[in-house]
A and B are shown apart, each in its own frame.
Chain A
Amino acid sequence: MPGSPRILVLDDELDVLELYQEMLKTLPSKPEVTTCESGQRALALLETEQFNMLISDLQMPKMDGLQVLSIVRHKYPQLIIVVMTAILDESLRKRAYDAGVDLFWQKPSNAEDTKLFLESIEALLSRQAIGGFRGVAVKTLSEILQMEGHAMNSLVLKVTNNRLEGRIWIVDGNVVDAAVGDQTGLDALKTIYSWKSGSFESLPAETTRVRTIFYGNMDGLLLDLSQTVDEVQAAGTADVVALENVEGGGQRLTPLQASAKVEGVEFVLSAPKDTSKAVESHGVANPEPLAQWTRQTVAGFQELAAELVLGELKEIEGRGTPRHVTIVPLSDRLLCIGLNRKLSAAKCRETVETVLTKWAS
């Protein structure tokens, strides 16, 4: 990209605009940042000036962010579009991606989020600079793998899905290994591939990575991955996790079964947020009272969060004498995980992270 990349930031709040300007100026690519407070003004600026990226809030008076984005995507297919929102809403995320955005991001709430956000912005700008063929918005992991395969690139692709992080090692256009949680190789790749959303980041190549995935070409691999994901979806999506190979061959486990196999886990209970759906559990003699306690406890602390503006409830960890318990609210259900009491607090957290990888898709 000749010269500094140009970013247009759209938000109806002046202090937020100033904040973006300060943050974006720290990027290594030293972008030139222009700000505006209304959708109409953004459209006018895009009409008269050339930008590489638009960062837009979704909630604005008069013309909302999605309206602006739909118009922009049609008129400027080359433009990278990033949306920011303070609202965590899966349907909003879907609508944004349907409108053609490249990256959907919840407004950073801490230093780590902010760092990740800035790294993603830089990665998007770099990809445009290196690739030279933006125009088709990169929306899926399949598209990215295809691009890297065709370009015979070597890199490590970091894929982040909420709190989960997966890595895919690509050498000379071939996927050689992958890792997520306690999974590695093809199983890990299938798990990452089954994620419905996430963000991508390119890291420097590690060409000495030991190869565990053997496919002659990227297209063959992608075909197999797509078939696996299709089969999982056809089998009932959320309740069947792709990809656990059980000893003896290829049996598919539900997330519940896969979670129960994680070392240190004593029981797992899944309580759907939709109370008309059945509670599922493994290792619990009487799941209903435990589900009720889980729901009540989470509801109480979520109400507290709303009243005191505490932010999202991430998890509730309980340490006890017979066992430890962790409750994690997911988008459609609450997970209550019983953990061996001998596990340290750090090991408990690590075990819970591993369990969550089983539910990631």
Chain B
Amino acid sequence: MGILKKVFKKSRPALSQLPHGSFSVDPHGRVTASTLPQSFPSEHVQRISKLVLSAFGEAKKLGLNLTELTINYAGLRIVAKEMRGGALVILSPRGVQKS
């Protein structure tokens, strides 16, 4: 499917750099384990952690008590599972073959 590969590259040039992997963070946002490639900047990991922990925390205050969040982007799926105030976060690029 060479054509589709080109479509993806054209539409979202940075997609091929999106990582496939997971990491876990403690309730303070510290990364405790990661299978992400080292090329993926730690600032991005921190940014995702902060957003996920905040979404879980604020939802809890509203009584929503979420145990799992799935954030669906056109190019990436983020699945975050709540773990005693921390989270396990899985990143899965969509529709892009690892190059």
Contacts and interface: CB of A to CB of B under 8 A. Distances in A.
A297 B44 contact: no
Instruction: Give the residue among A107, A293, A296 with the most B Cβ atoms within 10 A.
Output: A293
B66 to A, nearest CB: 4
A293 B6 contact: no
Given A114-B7, A325-B66, A304 B51 contact: yes
A301 interface: yes
Contacts of B64: 318, 320, 322-323, 325
A300 B54 CA distance: 10
A198 B76 CA distance: 25
Given A15-B6, A296-B58, A308 B18 contact: yes
Contact of B66 (A111, A289, A290, A320): A320
Contacts of A151: none
A111 B4 contact: yes
Contact of A293 (B58, B69, B76, B94): B58
Interface string B1-42: 111101110111111001000000000000000000000000
B83 interface: no
Instruction: Give the residue among A111, A114, A301, A308 with the most B Cβ atoms within 10 A.
Output: A308
A107 B7 CA distance: 9
B55 A300 contact: yes
Contact of A19 (B7, B55, B66, B95): B7
A228 to B, nearest CB: 34
Nearest to A13: B10
A86 interface: yes
Size band of the A side of the interface? 35 or more
Interface residues of B, number: 40
A107 B67 contact: no
A296 B4 CA distance: 35
B73 A320 contact: no
Contact of B11 (A108, A310, A325): A108
B94 A320 contact: no
B99 to A, nearest CB: 15
B6 A19 contact: yes
Given A289-B62, A293-B62, A300-B55, A318 B69 contact: yes
A204 B49 CA distance: 50
A305 B4 contact: no
Contact of A109 (B2, B13, B69, B74): B74
A71 interface: no
Given A107-B11, A297-B51, A322-B64, 9 more contacts: A18-B6, A108-B7, A114-B4, A290-B62, A305-B73, A311-B12, A311-B75, A315-B72, A320-B66
30 contacts: A19-B3, A19-B7, A22-B2, A22-B6, A23-B3, A107-B11, A109-B8, A109-B74, A110-B8, A111-B4, A114-B7, A297-B51, A297-B54, A301-B71, A304-B47, A304-B51, A308-B44, A310-B18, A311-B12, A311-B15, A313-B72, A315-B72, A316-B70, A317-B69, A318-B64, A318-B66, A319-B67, A319-B70, A321-B67, A322-B64
Interface of B: 1-4, 6-8, 10-15, 18, 44, 47-48, 51, 54-55, 58-59, 61-76, 94-95
